[in-house]
Chain A
């Protein structure tokens, strides 16, 4: 496997890069959608069963099937990477929306009330008090989402979106274990690195507790 990786290092590097790109873009999208959505739910708690329920349902769709479902979609279906990014974004939504919602709801009501009573506007309460206090929980959600995405992104190769799954599917077809490992090991390393990096960020944001 090592020998294979060395001889094919340009290809390995390209696919690792592709993999990071797929995961990175989808995570950016998922955060951009999921965090505001989570905040919205804290303002309109009645929406929360519907929103959390549907993100939950998305989570239960097998990834290969979701990639397949998206194939005939109008603009998305034209390019495999668009499908992959859409699917990964959808999968990442649940942990991010849920943790944003739970994190903000978990802020001590007395602290929120003190902020309001001091004459902070709604946005000031959100950005100066609620989000900083919820940050470690929100980051934990992003971390979970990222680790899951790194794994699911390997399946994106099945629809031709590239990434480390290429090696895995090629290895499966050729019954070549070292080829499979050439895809699987870097993917696992990526997942671990994301987990560690975001875990570190999370601990730095953890607020001092009484």
Chain B
């Protein structure tokens, strides 16, 4: 079962692995076909592709918001179908565009929800919330008691990251996390995310359609096209690749 790990060191063992994964919708439309890829511990793997390429679907297969039609998706060496759902999801933070914050909860309750559900005492929860807010550069004193609608897009996004990290999951999934932001805020958050990731070394899978973002954040880039993987490239290889499909994608962003 672990034959794929034969020549790998523990540091880069696969945390997430797709094996021959197909996903079809209930009405039979193929979204993902024969997807094989593995994500090593501590890397920031970027799934790059146009809308409709199946990148969000691939992401949702990891935390089982969707279930594969065939093949297996493994997390920590175990098929996700064998995991107890709540246990699996507690290991995986999930950040979506605009944060997906609970509109009826304050920042404090949003960020503190998972620690609270994990049975932490109120003091510990408070402490954790402050710690997480500081981590994403928000002053706890002025943000704790605000509601999501009282925040800017960038602030909401940061709270979304803080919330995802509050349960200290080893894996982080991010779906176009900076997509809805204006370019200045976006660049600022990308820079912060990079610094944060250097500190935390989570295993990150980030979905985007934006080539500069992929190059800025990804340690490896997987290019997805109509549900199939064109290839996985370390950053430098992606820049240098002569594969026409990669080139086409790259050129679309070159001004």
Q: Which chain A residues in 104-135 approach chain B with CB under 8 Å?
A: 108, 110-111, 113-121, 124, 128-129, 132-133
Residue of B nearest to A116 (CB): B65
Contact of B86 with A by CB under 8 A: yes
Give the contact stretch, choosing among B95-103, B121-129, B136-144, B181-189.
B95-103
Contact of B89 with A by CB under 8 A: yes
Contact of A74 with B by CB under 8 A: no
Contacts of A119 in B (CB 8 A): 85-90, 114, 117, 167
Please give 16 more A-B residue pairs, beta carbons under 8 A apart, in addition to A114-B94, A119-B87. Answer: A108-B103, A113-B65, A113-B96, A114-B100, A115-B102, A117-B63, A118-B94, A118-B163, A119-B85, A128-B102, A129-B102, A132-B104, A133-B102, A133-B103, A210-B103, A210-B148
Contacts of B85 in A (CB 8 A): 119
Tell me, in angstroms, the Cα distance from A128 to B147 when the chains sit together.
16
Q: Are A111 and B86 in contact (CB-based, < 8 A)?
A: no
Known: A117-B65, A117-B89, A119-B90. A209 touches B103 (CB 8 A): yes
Residue of A nearest to B62 (CB): A117
Which of the listed residues A110, A128, A210 has the most CB atoms from chain B within 10 Å of its own CB?
Answer: A210
Known: A133-B103, A209-B103. A114 touches B96 (CB 8 A): yes
Tell me, in angstroms, the Cα distance from A191 to B63 when the chains sit together.
50
Contacts of B97 in A (CB 8 A): 110
Residue of A nearest to B92 (CB): A117
CB 8 Å contact bits of A46-80 with B (1 = contact, 0 = none):
00000000000000000000000000000000000
Contact of B113 with A by CB under 8 A: yes
Shortest A163–chain B CB gap in Å is 38
Contact of A207 with B by CB under 8 A: yes
Tell me, in angstroms, the Cα distance from A113 to B99 when the chains sit together.
11
- A residues near B (Cβ < 8 Å) are 108, 110-111, 113-121, 124, 128-129, 132-133, 207-210
Tell me, in angstroms, the Cα distance from A111 to B149 when the chains sit together.
14
Tell me, in angstroms, the Cα distance from A208 to B106 when the chains sit together.
10
Q: Are B103 and A118 in contact (CB-based, < 8 A)?
A: no
Contacts of A133 in B (CB 8 A): 102-104
CB 8 Å contact bits of B161-183 with A (1 = contact, 0 = none):
00110010000010000000000
Contacts of A129 in B (CB 8 A): 102
Contacts of B103 in A (CB 8 A): 108, 111, 133, 207-210
Shortest A4–chain B CB gap in Å is 49
Q: Are A117 and B149 in contact (CB-based, < 8 A)?
A: no
Tell me, in angstroms, the Cα distance from A43 to B8 when the chains sit together.
45
Q: Are B86 and A110 in contact (CB-based, < 8 A)?
A: no
Contacts of B101 in A (CB 8 A): 111, 114
Shortest B67–chain A CB gap in Å is 13
When the two chains form the complex, which single residue of A110, A124, A128 contacts B96, counting CB atoms closer than 8 Å? A110
Q: Are A121 and B86 in contact (CB-based, < 8 A)?
A: yes
Contacts of B65 in A (CB 8 A): 113, 116-117
Shortest A45–chain B CB gap in Å is 13
Tell me, in angstroms, the Cα distance from A129 to B103 when the chains sit together.
9
Contacts of B117 in A (CB 8 A): 119-120, 124
Contacts of A132 in B (CB 8 A): 104
Tell me, in angstroms, the Cα distance from A111 to B98 when the chains sit together.
10
Contacts of A209 in B (CB 8 A): 103, 149
Shortest A130–chain B CB gap in Å is 11
Q: Are A111 and B100 in contact (CB-based, < 8 A)?
A: yes
Tell me, in angstroms, the Cα distance from A26 to B50 when the chains sit together.
55
